[in-house]
Amino acid sequence: MSVTDDLEIFNIQPEEVQFPPGDLDSNEPALESELHLRQILLLIQSLEWLWRSENSEYRQDFYAFGNLTIYYSPRQLKSEDFRGPDFFVVLGTEPKPRKSWVVWEEDGKYPNVIIELLSDSTAQVDRGLKKQIYQDTFRTPDYFWFDPNTLEFCGFHLIDGRYQELHPDARGWLWSEQLQLFLGIQERKLRFFTPDGALVLVPQEAVVIERQRAETAEALLARYREQFGELPSE
């Protein structure tokens, strides 16, 4: 029986049916809230700023993005075996724009780091099924979850094929072996911190700090001139 015959049985005209496109790129649902969206953008922007800034270790061999579908079907079919982490990082790859992450088109690479943002509708899956998939199939070394509302924060590192829960330091931060960065909560946001404890900024924050430094330097110079006059010329 054809598709048209099936439609006639239910008294549906063929022209009324909207078939999905055949080249689907991402199957991700809408984000849970504005908090979730802002958190994802914060993670992406800060990591890109850290690794692409002239003031730090410059690297281009990574891809960091969020709410993007990862296709991993052994049969190389986009209609089966796909998941969409809220945020993930792949190291040792080209940082080009992508509509989705297709494992068989990316030299078999899976994410090195995954962060899921919990919500009432996803928390059970993030703590259970997704954690199992990331451990057994993706073999993702570092997995974290964070709830932007309750601030629940937990992390795992893959050891001998099993996730071992990470223990926070005195600041409540967790170490990512893959990123060589800490993750911690500051002002109700999940942030990255350098090994020496410095906050990893986003570009907007970096601009503000640079402006404040310039204003402070100008104020100090003005006070010097008031007391001692102009700076001696060389």
Q: What is the mean pLDDT of residues 61-89?
A: 94
Any domain includes 107? yes
Any domain includes 167? yes
Range of the domain at 98: 21-201
178 — pLDDT class (breaks 50, 70, 90): very high
DSSP string, 125-183: HHHTHHHHHIIIII--SEEEEE-TTT--EEEEEEETTEEEEPPP-TTS-EEETTTTEEE
Could you tell me what percent of the chain has a pLDDT over 70?
72
Any domain includes 212? no
Tokens of 47: 């990591």
For the cut 50, the answer to whether the pLDDT of residue 131 exceeds it is yes
Q: What is the mean pLDDT of the chain?
A: 83
Q: What is the mean pLDDT of residues 28-56?
A: 81
Length of the chain: 234
For the cut 70, the answer to whether the pLDDT of residue 42 exceeds it is yes
Any domain includes 56? yes
Any domain includes 214? no
What is residue 208's predicted lDDT score, i.e. its pLDDT?
A: 65
CATH number of residue 160's parent domain? 3.90.1570.20
Any domain includes 154? yes
Q: What is the mean pLDDT of residues 78-103?
A: 94
What is residue 203's predicted lDDT score, i.e. its pLDDT?
A: 87
For the cut 50, the answer to whether the pLDDT of residue 6 exceeds it is no
The tally of domains found in the chain comes to 1
